[in-house]
Structure 1
């Protein structure tokens, strides 16, 4: 693994990506009763919160937010839990994560929704690395980045200066 630490997206660029994705979500779901963002634990949940805030600013849509809690290091063995029980009838569900690597985490994150009648389900990611091993394709992507599997993407949305770095 390389010792380099390359800034891929700065704070301003990330905010622009969030705004663009929010507009895309609004355009595709203008007639929905509501949009429910389901953020995957960690940065995925923070990204979902930022998307929800942005969508609320630009649209009259009802926006709801929940967290998909799972252990990203052991998705096969671990349990997938939703932060709250939510009615998804006639709503668009958007599963959100910060980085799409192989699709494994997102595939397992779908588990709690498989037994719920959902009108429409979409996927939003900030960075798509395109190392597709699972049949998961994002509907909304902030940034496409071709990397090797040995490289690591670090997303930080936890403070006032959001960043995406490549290590």
Structure 2
């Protein structure tokens, strides 16, 4: 197992991504960070906090609940009822592998008249089996499908490892 990103590097990536989100959404009526269950929710909170610290844009958070191990058979729903019309949705996950989870995670938003949807990931593995490309990427990492990326958001000691 080798460390790909340490705590300081992850903090820098999150800060840069937050500035990019702010720049691309200056005139947004609001931004909703929709974190996919697990580490995606944690990353969404970190990004939302960072955007709140640097901008006047109204920021909200919601969790996209789904079973990552069986996304095609899983119910996909939002953790709370939230007003989405006219807002920018930033769908957030820790690692983009094939894109399948992100495609399924979009389902709850299809019923709303959102302004736009963007995708933010900490690590993009660039396998691209589904037509999903992130708008905001912390780190691009070429890997084989058999390799595993582990993101750890333990309190005050974030890391990304390649197994």
TM-score by length of 2: 0.98
1:14–1:163: 8 Å Cα contact kept in structure 2? yes
> Take 1:34 and 1:157, find their aligned partners in 2: how far apart are those partners?
26
> Take 2:77 and 2:162, find their aligned partners in 1: how far apart are those partners?
30
> Take 2:25 and 2:150, find their aligned partners in 1: how far apart are those partners?
30
1:43–1:157: 8 Å Cα contact kept in structure 2? yes
Task: Give the structure 2 partner of residue 115 of structure 1.
Answer: 111
> Take 1:123 and 1:27, find their aligned partners in 2: how far apart are those partners?
15
1:129 and 2:133 correspond = no
Task: Give the structure 1 partner of residue 79 of structure 2.
Answer: 83
Deviations 1:73-114 (A, max 9, x none): 000001001011111122110000000000000000001111
Task: Give the structure 1 partner of residue 148 of structure 2.
Answer: 152
Q: Structure 1 stretches of 5 or more lacking a match?
A: none
Task: Give the structure 2 partner of residue 98 of structure 1.
Answer: 94
**Count of aligned pairs between the two proteins:** 163
Task: Give the structure 2 partner of residue 143 of structure 1.
Answer: 139
Q: Structure 2 stretches of 5 or more lacking a match?
A: none
Cα RMSD, aligned residues only: 0.6
2:122–2:139: 8 Å Cα contact kept in structure 1? yes
Task: Give the structure 2 partner of residue 40 of structure 1.
Answer: 36
Cα deviation for residue 51 of structure 1 reads 0.1
1:53 and 2:53 correspond = no
